[in-house]
Amino acid sequence: MGDLTVKKNAERAILVGAPPFDMPQQVVDEHLEELARLANTAGADVCGMVVQRLRTPNASTYIGKGKVEQLSRALKEHDASLAIFDEDLSPAQGVKLEKALGTRAMDRTELILDIFALRAKTSESKLQVEVAQLQYMRSRLKRMWTHLSREGGGIGARGPGEQQLETDRRLIDRRLTNLRRDLRQMEKRRATQRKARKEQFAVALVGYTNAGKSSILRELSGSDVFVEDRLFATLDSATRICDLEGPGPILLTDTVGFIRKLPHHLIASFRATLEELLEADLLLHVIDASSPNWEEHNEAVNEVLVASGVNERPVLFVMNKIDRLTHAEEQALRSRTAAFLGPQVFTSVIERGGLDSLREALQAAMRARLVTVRVSFPVIDGRTLAEAYRVGEVLERGYEAGRMMITARVPTAVAGRWRETNGLIVEVFDAA
């Protein structure tokens, strides 16, 4: 897991996993490995792990008393100042643990929020992350205050009175109201932009973080898109035009990657970005087929799609990174997924021709939404002819008494608009 950018003074952390009693060891390992990647992405230096399988979590410290002591020793031994839990801690558990350990304790949600804050680049994603952070903080104000007073060095640190907490809550609420208003405005602007390109075939990439969404966008559009072997490389949706040498270009949009147990605050605050998905003609659900955990990833992604109401859009599954599978593994995967995944293609971004199957599927999807029209327009109307070539395919052209006649395949929306245009005579045939 070569990490190049760990800060010089990276915070040293111990990971804590407390999986259910009956979870297979392989899954436990994979979850901890993912947590380690998250910790790395946040800039922490992981120097140990403590695992305890639980039938029921301890109400006050999540893990058992003996494990807390073991964790405390591990922290001292490695001179670590942070314990990162894979499970969600209640505010009370957080306080108790920090008291017992004498260091900061963080859960997965907090870690993910931290990474998002670190990675947010545009003003929209910054606002979205701030909303999520404030909501998370609001429910944990007391605990935050104990942090602050301890940092101040006060012995027997005294938390603030209820009155102070009330004031803080009001401040947070006011800020949240403002942020949400700004976000709504941005959302409106975005909706206007989308409307302007409504007639184009819009495709959106979704999937688990690190599956290869941005790589596919970069390959298909030939433009420079940020790709990195890290979690949450992309936070902002980016749209690029891809010319697939078929009927017109497509608009391909990249979106933020999902992850197991994505904090629901984050999903809610990224709704504006997810709107892109709602308006797409087709979703490309990209899956890292080389991950032993891809089915769990698939489910995590589906959960978010359902939660944000996007699950009814047509989906094409893109089983990516097949260059990492042996031929036999790929065959086995193909026969297994054929039955339950729905429409699917197998791809590799790094192999020559590895995206051909995807290009073909996109061309077919695009053709399927075109209708055949016969249009007659004045010869001097160069615009209509140019548009027919741009957004569709021209099958035939001819002249008759100063008018041009063409037979073309164009998007339904364009055919509809032409029908309303003065000077054009339009005959629409069935989508054959």
Ligand X SMILES: Nc1nc2c(ncn2[C@@H]2O[C@H](COP(=O)(O)OP(=O)(O)OP(=O)(O)O)[C@@H](O)[C@H]2O)c(=O)[nH]1
Contact residues for Mg ion, defined by CB under 5 A: 213-214, 233-234
Q: Which of 42, 63, 231, 361 binds ligand X (CB under 6 A)?
A: 231
Tell the smallest beta-carbon distance from residue 204 to ligand X (Å).
13
Tokens of 9: 């003074």
Tell the smallest beta-carbon distance from residue 427 to ligand X (Å).
44
Residues 6 or more apart whose Cβ sits within 8 Å of residue 156? none
Provide the β-strand partners of residue 318. Answer: 286, 345
Measured CA distances, 147 to 100, 137, 163, 230, 266 (Å) = 14, 12, 18, 30, 24
Q: Measured from the CB atom, is 320 or 372 closer to ligand X?
A: 320
Instruction: Please calculate the CA angle 357-242-255 and round it to the nearest 5 degrees.
Output: 85
Euclidean distance between the first and the last CA atom of the chain, given in angstroms as a whole number = 52
Tell the smallest beta-carbon distance from residue 214 to Mg ion (Å).
3
Q: Which of 229, 243, 299, 329 binds ligand X (CB under 6 A)?
A: 229
Q: Measured from the CB atom, is 32 or 286 closer to Mg ion?
A: 286
Provide the β-strand partners of residue 345. Answer: 318
Measured distance CA(131)–CA(265) in Å, rounded: 8
Q: Does 227 bind ligand X (CB under 6 A)?
A: yes
String of contacts with ligand X for each residue 318-337, x by CB under 6 A: --xx-xx-------------
Q: Measured from the CB atom, is 215 or 239 closer to ligand X?
A: 215
Tell the smallest beta-carbon distance from residue 221 to Mg ion (Å).
13
Residues 240-279 binding ligand X (CB under 6 A) are 257
Residues 165-224 binding ligand X (CB under 6 A) are 207, 209-215
Measured distance CA(119)–CA(130) in Å, rounded: 12
Task: Return the one option of ligand X, Mg ion, none that residue 329 interacts with (CB less than 5 to 8 A, by type).
Answer: none
Residues 6 or more apart whose Cβ sits within 8 Å of residue 94? 105, 107, 140, 143
Q: Does 40 bind ligand X (CB under 6 A)?
A: no
Residue of this chain nearest to ligand X (CB atom): 257
Residues 334-353 binding ligand X (CB under 6 A) are 348-350
Q: Measured from the CB atom, is 262 or 365 closer to ligand X?
A: 262
User: With CB under 6 A, what is the number of residues at the site for ligand X?
Assistant: 23
Nearest to 377 by CA among 421, 417, 429: 421
Query: Residue-wise over 256-269: b if at least 16 C-beta within 10 A, else e?
Result: bbbbbbbbebbbeb
Tell me the residue length of the chain.
432
DSSP E strand stretches across 243-327: 250-254, 282-288, 315-320
- Applying CB under 6 A, the residues found at the interface with ligand X are 207, 209-215, 227-229, 231-234, 257, 320-321, 323-324, 348-350
